[in-house]
Structure 1
Amino acid sequence: MPPPLLSRYNFVPRTNLCVVIDILYRGLDPVLGVFTGFLAYYLHENHPRTALPQEQRLIELIRWKWSKWQDARNAHLNAAETTK
């Protein structure tokens, strides 16, 4: 029985088209993965069945952290100005 034609142990000459397709797939796979992850998280937060309350969403957490960071930064800058 002859070996399979597309076995990894057989030498298959690679054309330029195969190289281009291989590079394209290697580049698109991470992009597709990230897109799918963002879409899944968006649907998790906004779908009517699984929607989170407004105060538990990611954008509210980011706003809270940003205001906390700004308060700490302003306190540090005010302390630095008072020591001058």
Structure 2
Amino acid sequence: MAKTYLLSRTLDPILGIFTGLLAFHLNETNPRSAPIPGHTLRELIAWKWNENKELRQIRDREDENNNDWERVTRELGVGSNVESTEKK
């Protein structure tokens, strides 16, 4: 079965991508269909990026605190790591 193309094998995907991007742009900027302020794709991505950045910073701080606790317990000779090495 022969494949049919609208323009050509390479121009059809380019046309599809261009059409999709143009439709998205018109949807975001048209006064009738534009999302409410604060809900455009760019703003939503920035909000989610900042939220994830804060969560990563909190997680990194907790990891640092846990590493400090493990270091202190090793220095004092208390904890499961010391007990497991003594049993061997």
Do both share a fold (TM > 0.5)? yes
**Matched ranges for 1:22-41 at <5 A:** 25-41=8-24
- Deviations for 1:1-37, whole angstroms, at most 9, x for unmatched residues? xxxxxxx7xxxxxxxxxxxxx8x82111111101110
Name the structure 2 match of 1:42. 25
Runs of 4 or more, structure 1, over 6 Å off, are none
Name the structure 1 match of 2:59. 76
Structure 2 residue 42 is the aligned partner of structure 1 residue 59: yes
Greater radius of gyration (CA): 2
Name structure 2 gaps, 5 residues minimum.
68-88
- Deviations for 1:52-81, whole angstroms, at most 9, x for unmatched residues? 222111111101110111011111111111
Instruction: Tell me the C-alpha RMSD between the 2 structures.
Output: 2.0
SS in 1 for 2:35: coil
SS in 2 for 1:61: helix
TM-score (norm 1): 0.65
Number of aligned residue pairs: give it.
63
Q: Identity of aligned pairs, percent?
A: 41
Whole-Å separation in 1 of the counterparts to 2:59 and 2:35: 35
Whole-Å separation in 1 of the counterparts to 2:66 and 2:33: 51
Whole-Å separation in 2 of the counterparts to 1:52 and 1:28: 31
